[in-house]
Structure formats: C-alpha cells, structure tokens
Amino acid sequence: HPNLSLDVLSGLMLDGVPLTAIAEEVGTPCWVISADTLRKRAAQLLGAMKGAGLSVSAHFAVKANGHLAVLKILAESGMGADVVSGGELLRARKAGIPASRIVFSGVGKTDAELRLALEEDIAQINVESAEELEVLSGVAASLGREIDVALRVNPDVDAKTHAKITTGVAGNKFGIPYDEALGLYRQAQALPGLKPVGYAVHIGSQILTMEPYRAAYARIAELVRATRAAGMAVSVVDCGGGLGICYRDEGAGSPQALAGAMRSELGDLDVRLAIEPGRWIAAPAGVLLASVILRKAVTGGEPFIILDAAMNDLLRPSLYDAWHGILPLSAHDAGLAPEAAAIVGPVCESGDMFARNRQLPPLQRGARVALLDAGAYGSVMSSTYNARPLAAEVLVDGDRWSVIRPRQSVESLWASEVMPDGVRVEA
Ligand code: LLP
C-alpha cells in the first residue's frame, strides 16, 4: 500500500498523518481517505489512456464514493461523473462537476430522474431497454428537449467476478440483449427527443484479467461496424468501469492493460471513448479505523476480536465474503507474533464478520486497527442498522487532515420520525 507506512514512534501513517492521532481525536469507527491517492490514481488512469493514444472522457462512478470533497478532488483531476440516480446527479452537480461531464446509467430511472437529467442537460443517458427508450423519448419530447443516448448492451460475456457484481451475462437485469441492440438503435433514430450517439457496456466489477474486457469490446466493435454499415452514425463507445484492485494477493490488471485492451479492440473505430471507473480510483485511497471493544476468548479455538466497526459500516465482507486487509495502528502491536483470530463487529448477526482465521498480532481491548481498501463501496454502503450512527469521515491531504463529515449524532437517528398523532418527537 503506497499510501501507508509504519513509523516506529507514530505507528501506522496514511501519507503524512499518524492514524492514531485521528482515532484519538475523532473516535472510531472512522473513515479516512487520502486526497493524494485520489489525485495520483486519477492521473495514472488518465495518463494510461493518453499513453495508449486514446481520446477518453473519464466519468468517476459516484456510487463508489459520493462524498462532495472526493468528487471535487476528482473533478479537479480531470474526471466527470457516472451517476445512477437523481440523488447522485445532484450530488455531482453540487460538487461542481459540470453537467456536460455527467453520464447517467442504471436499469430503472424514474420519470422524475429522466426529467432532471434533461433539465440539467447532462452529457448522455445510457439506456438499458426498449421500454426505457420509449419513456425517455416521451419525457424529452414533453420538455421540448433532445439528449444524447447510448444504448447499454449486454454482450453476454462472463467477467469472472463475484456473482453479485457480474452484470454482463445473459439473464441478468442489465443492458439490452446483444442481438436486439442494432434494431433498437435504428428505432431510436426515429424517436423524438433522442439522439443515439453510440453504445455502452459494463460487464461487472472487480475484474482482474483483460480477457473479459477484450471479448466485450470486440463484440461492441462488431456492433459499431454493423450499425455504420446499416447507414447510421456512431460517435461514442462507453467502456464502463470494473477494473479490479488487489485486496489480498489477486494479480489485478493495470490501467495500462485496460488501455491496451481498449486500443486493440476499439482503437481504430474513430469514436470518442468513455470510461466509468469507481473502485480502482477510490478503494486504495481509504481505510476504516476501528477499536477493539473486547477480546473474547474461545476455549480450543480462535478468539473473537470484537471491533466497534461492524457490517453496518463496511458491508462488503458480509455481503460478498470480501477480503479486506487489517493492520494494527500501533507500532508495538504490529511487532508482536501473529495468532489466528476472528475479527467481528458487535451487530446481532452471525454474518457481521470481517475476517475469520486471520493472522494478526494478538489484539487486546482498546487496540486500534485499520481495515484497508475501504475507500470505495465503504461509507456509501453504510446503514444505521442496530441504531448505530454513521461513522465520521476524515480527509488526509499531505500531512494535514480534517473532518469532512462529523460522526452522526444518535439523536439524529430519530429526529425526522413522527408519532402517528402527528406529534414530532423532540430530538
Ligand atoms: N458503471 C456502471 C454502469 C456500474 O454499474 C458500475 C458499478 C461502475 C461503472 C463502476 O464499477 P467499478 O469501476 O467500481 O468496478 N458494491 C460492490 C460493487 C458494485 C458495482 C456496481 N456497479 C462491491 O462493493 O464490490
């Protein structure tokens, strides 16, 4: 982890900041994200595209981390936004991302969301079905507006990733079946309010090898050629997101490899390419800090290390059996001989488990740890289950840090609740 280092005195550092200092002042659980890492990764990804001679517009997938400060840093680093709801659209606008750099994806956009996208005049809507095309045309015509549309195609390619985050195989809800795409593109030409500009494809997330990408892009290239052969113009191919990272020891692909796949399959099409990266940019930038509430001994088995962070904070291990690295914050703890332990949260579900049989130094009550690679699909997937307030968020910028979202108060959990007799409960 390029942004983490161990200092003998200060313990685990994120860039120039000792994480213990943050944990002591802000408390735990607490998300910490590195501005430098966000900037560096955005530059690296854009540089790889440029290095391959590709003209690419990059749209950060807001779903991965929608914090306004994160979006602003990425906007300053040259990225637009890929949004999947009206809320994300407004969030991106609020962070200062111009509408002209926003694309709207998703399998079910409400009429109100489509209206918002048209009124904001965003760059492009990725349409996922014949039905949606009809509805969008109706909404656009009623507003007297026209919008660029890309058809999201399901290329029926297996991204070889976790079943819950695979999206490009036939039979899942995403995209237009490959064989129907050309016909629908033709239909779209005739619909008022729509300007079909090209195709979009997103086959899944945490993709580790380039083969699925190549296969999907090759199919899209074939579709572009067929569409042009049928006399229609195509100027955009949106290549989606999905580039995986190394959480444990996976051999993840690089932006260079992705750029290579894009160039070899799509490079001679003379289209503007788009990408929608989320995880690759943000995941390694962030950690989740937690403290050990109790060390619960188990006769004849591994102890339970019970943290004050739980599945309501970081859901990925419970939902996908995802592996997140765990490091002690104290240099002293880090130096102890490891033992096998189960790392769990206090939520009342057996699934509230971060790791099992994990080799870690013996962690005592009060010890602090960082859960790694938590900058994407971390805080955004949190809930307040078990009446646990949302954790604080901190941004590290060089050797300075600041709270970018205070810990939610317990009172605010019920502040908007109303008794059935209409009496508002005092927070
Ligand atoms: N574009 C579209 C249309 C998407 O659906 C997604 C992610 C992305 C881009 C960004 O993909 P990325 O570059 O981040 O892989 N919660 C899951 C991941 C769900 C991804 C959903 N779609 C997780 O924690 O692993």
**198 & 252 share domain:** yes
Q: Is the CB of 205 under 6 A from ligand 1?
A: yes
Is-contact 117 135, C-beta < 8 A?
no
How far does the centroid of ligand 1 lie from the alpha carbon of residue 85, in Å?
14
CATH number at residue 254: 3.20.20.10
Long-range pairs of 132-140 with CB within 8 A, sequence gap ≥ 24: 132/108, 133/184, 133/187, 133/188, 133/191, 133/194, 134/191, 135/111, 136/109, 136/193, 136/194, 137/191, 137/192, 137/193, 137/194, 138/193, 139/111, 139/114, 139/115, 139/193, 140/114, 140/192, 140/193, 140/194
- Averaged pLDDT in 10-residue chunks for the chain of 427 residues: 94 98 98 98 98 97 98 98 98 98 97 98 97 98 97 89 75 90 97 98 96 97 98 98 96 95 97 98 98 97 98 98 98 97 97 98 98 98 98 98 98 93 72
CATH number at residue 341: 2.40.37.10
Query: How do beta strands 353-360 and 11-14 pair?
Result: unpaired
Residues 6 or more apart from 336 whose CB is under 8 A from it?
361, 362
* Integer Cα distance of 137 and 141 in angstroms: 6
**54 & 185 share domain:** yes
Query: Does 426 reside within a domain?
Result: no
Range of the domain at 159: 35-282
Q: Is the CB of 82 under 6 A from ligand 1?
A: yes
Domain end among 229, 248, 282 = 282
Nearest to 406 by CA among 420, 391, 418: 391
Residue numbers belonging to the annotated binding site for substrate: 279, 316, 320, 349, 377
Q: Is the CB of 242 under 6 A from ligand 1?
A: yes
Nearest to 398 by CA among 19, 36, 18: 36
Our mutation pick for probing the ligand 1 site, out of 45, 57, 63, 151, counting the most ligand atoms within 8 A of Cβ, is 63
98 CB-side CA count, 13 A: 6
Q: Is the CB of 317 under 6 A from ligand 1?
A: no
* Integer Cα distance of 317 and 311 in angstroms: 8
Q: Is the CB of 106 under 6 A from ligand 1?
A: no
Domain end among 282, 306, 329 = 282
Write down the pLDDT at residue 161: 77
**196 & 107 share domain:** yes
**74 & 144 share domain:** yes
For 108-128, b where at least 16 C-beta lie within 10 A, e where not — what string?
ebeeebbbbbbebebbbbbbb
Query: Does 227 reside within a domain?
Result: yes
**77 & 155 share domain:** yes
Our mutation pick for probing the ligand 1 site, out of 107, 205, 281, 288, counting the most ligand atoms within 8 A of Cβ, is 205
**155 & 111 share domain:** yes
Structurally, the chain folds into a number of domains equal to 2
Burial of 214 (0-12, 13-18, 19+ CB in 10 A): middle
**307 & 230 share domain:** no
**78 & 132 share domain:** yes
* Integer Cα distance of 171 and 277 in angstroms: 24
**303 & 386 share domain:** yes
**110 & 204 share domain:** yes
- Atom number of ligand 1 nearest to Cα 152: 3
**338 & 207 share domain:** no
Q: Is the CB of 314 under 6 A from ligand 1?
A: no
348 is catalytic: yes
Residue type, 199: Y
Residue numbers belonging to the annotated binding site for pyridoxal 5'-phosphate: 242, 276-279, 377
**250 & 366 share domain:** no
Q: What is the ipTM of this complex?
A: 0.99
Write down the pLDDT at residue 427: 59
* Integer Cα distance of 354 and 229 in angstroms: 52
Domain end among 282, 298, 324 = 282
Write down the pLDDT at residue 229: 98
